[in-house]
Amino acid sequence: MSDINLIWCHGSLGEPWGTKSKALAETSAQLGLTMEAPDFRETEDPDLRVQWLLDLLEEKTGPTILAGSSMGGYVATAAAKHANVLGLFLLAPAFYFPGYDIHVFTKLPPVITVVHGWDDDVVPVEHAIRFAKGHKADLHIFDDNHRLQNSTGTLCTLFSSFLTSITA
């Protein structure tokens, strides 16, 4: 599995190696995958972050799995149509926001998992439902907020299943 690139895209105000990304990296390591987490904090522009991710992906060989939270979920999804992406794992993805270039996503991978919190006060849960319905993505909604901090264990279980479904 070492030929698969696994890349985490952090959120707007997040950092590359926060609580969620560390937990997901540990989960992926148990499956023989190493997760990368580039630092996008130099810009708040979501579409510039997409370009930075695409530049990074140009340097990679082999297929890629993208994961992201909030704005990072948007970045991963927007970049997916331009790269060899096997799957997307999206946490409270920031879709359908004014000022973001892409609102209609095409050429997405067949394996997509979306996780959201019912009490998200940053990204309305309806955005995740709309996206998941339009792309027939697996959707999991928890009694949690935007950060999904009360759902870390369940996130790791879902992430493990997601990765196994792609790499098995």
The one-digit pLDDT tens for each residue of the chain (168 residues) are 568 999 999 999 999 999 999 999 999 999 999 999 999 999 999 999 999 999 999 999 999 999 999 999 999 999 999 999 999 999 999 999 999 999 999 999 999 999 999 999 999 999 999 999 999 999 999 999 999 999 999 999 999 999 999 998
Domains of the chain, by residue range, sit at: 5-167
CA-based nearest residue to 91, from 29, 23, 1:
23
Residue 14 in contact with residue 70, Cβ under 8 Å?
yes
Q: What is the CATH number of domain 5-167?
A: 3.40.50.1820
CA angle at 81 for the pair 76 and 87, rounded to the nearest 5°: 55
86 and 64 in contact (C-beta within 8 Å)? yes
pLDDT value at residue 2: 63
Task: Kindly give the residue spans of alpha helices, DSSP state H, lying in 34-124.
Answer: 46-58, 71-80
Supply the pTM of this predicted model: 0.97
